[in-house]
Amino acid sequence: MIRIGCSPPVEVGVFPYLIKNFLLEERSCSMQCKEATSLIIPFIERELPEDKLKIFLEHIRNCKECREELEIYYTIHMYIEGIDRDWFSTYNFKGEFEKELKEANAYVRWTNIMSFFKDLITAFAIIGILIILTLQLQLWGLIG
């Protein structure tokens, strides 16, 4: 069993593991809690670049501790923001937090779809190269 990310551990077969780690770069939730928590403030201030945002949200989805920490930071941040404004009679921190997470996840899902097609093309290219190589070796009489 190979453990990816913090929790929960994910079981993956050898081949998907190879694809994940060598062919398609680091696309899994390889971010550890320490890195995730260091990205909480940039996330709240909407300063996370796309690639970081993706792994950050993936980690938050799978890690209860970091999600709780994010929620706390978010609430504090909104509270500080709200001191100047007359928010507190009506403001729903929990609801806003969920909304913010949902929006960020929707954005990442869209970029995931785009990168899925990119990966698909890469996979076909690799298969194509292997086929050509096999045919060429057969032509040279080295195999088959």
Task: Give contact residues for Zn ion (rule: CB under 5 A).
Answer: 6, 33, 36, 63, 66
**Cβ neighbours for 33, distance < 8 A, ≥ 6 positions apart:** 6, 59, 63, 65, 66
Q: Which is nearer to Zn ion, 39 or 63 (CB)?
A: 63
CA dihedral 30, 105, 72, 65 (to 10 degrees): -30
Smallest gap from residue 38 Cβ to Zn ion (A): 11
Residue 82: which H helix or E strand, with range?
helix 64-83
Smallest gap from residue 115 Cβ to Zn ion (A): 23
Smallest gap from residue 96 Cβ to Zn ion (A): 22
Q: Which is nearer to Zn ion, 59 or 97 (CB)?
A: 59
Q: Which is nearer to Zn ion, 52 or 91 (CB)?
A: 52
The residue written with tokens 């670049």 in the block is: 49
Q: Closest CB to Zn ion belongs to which residue?
A: 63
